[in-house]
A and B are shown apart, each in its own frame.
Chain A
Amino acid sequence: MEQLDLGHISLAIGFLLILIGFWGLLTQKNIIKIIVAFTILDTGINILIVSLGYIVGKTAPIVDNSVEQLENHNVVNSIVDPVPQALVLTAIVIGFGVTALMLAYAMKLFNAKKTLEINKFNDLKW
């Protein structure tokens, strides 16, 4: 059996976090908890992105001294896939924006009804 490498572990953690996030989104009644669940989901996805770009034994795709010191200066063969790393940055920013927006909503909703129970905000229905 192959050894559990870092990539697989993080992949599993990512999925686990995604599931926890979904579970939280669907079960928690408190809006803040829902937002937390969303950030967990978001984090899970981010971990997923990074771990999919991971290649065993390679280093981060940052061209600095650690790479310069490599014997044959073979940068391409010594770093992990850089694209997911770039993507995850954007995804984090987006996730941040969404979380901020949600929190702003939470604030407004609380001001409106003095409660954070999501069940109470069903004026519009059917």
Chain B
Amino acid sequence: MNIYVKLAYTFLGLMIVLNWGMLMGATMRKIGARVAGRHGIPFKQPWIDLFKNIGVRTTITHGIMYYIGPVFRLTGGVGLFLFMPAVFSGSPYGIWTNFSFEGDLILILYFQVFGMLGMALGAGEGGHPYAAMGIARGLAQHAAVELPLTLAFLSIAIQYDTFSVYKIVEAQQGGFQNWVLFTNPFAAAAVILAMLGALGHSPFNLVKAPNEILIGPATEYEGSYLGFMQSAGAIIHVMEAMLFMNLVFGGATNWFELILKTFLIYFWSVFVGIVFPRFKIEQSVTWFFKVPLLLGVLAILMYSF
């Protein structure tokens, strides 16, 4: 495939993901509002926010790191998309596999942190205590989530003898009975529980804790920066759901399947979030060290003997 065509498709895919992420976010907020008995925001609200933010006439800067923090964040989101095979089409070099052939699952796992780190540093230079508090909480929770997730991912990698996300998706083709969800239930269960933390909804939303530390890391950001961050957030939400989809739920062979599956995955965390109140950080860390960790260990032990 011509590299320009490839780039064009990738860009198109990115746009789809961005817009779907925004729409999905709006949907979830609407669902939350309806459960609470409110009407909720219009579906177009994210786009309104985005254009408004980019359009504001005044922006400030606290310094260079503050300035490039959102760049890191958005690059993190975009990069994640670039390294993730989006839609399975039978070839690792298919039109919607982006640049996933340059790396594998490990690259994705570690690249996730790229945006987080950049944003954390940028917010840090802003000097707002809420930002630092949010980041500290976020990192702690992230570490706790990582343990069961890593175990589960390792288990899946052992199961299919590969770290290639593409190959894992490929191996799950041919009916839902081939999904990891059914072929490796312990790993799947661990992922399903741990991804609640990764997606960051209540009860695991102490990072942003809206009515406590404003919106945490992004507190000091406004204008275009915030727009960048919102865009990045939309992309990253979809990307995380997509990662779980690819690893556990058989991937997607077309965009419709992708949208449906990511919606359901995301909805799962929103569903839990609406039911359960927010955890303190020590509670959430301990929570991940109980059942999800146990499931993860079981998933590994299955292949250890």
- Touch between A and B in complex, CB under 8 Å? no
Q: Which B residues form the contact surface with A (CB < 8 A)?
A: none
Q: Which A residues form the contact surface with B (CB < 8 A)?
A: none
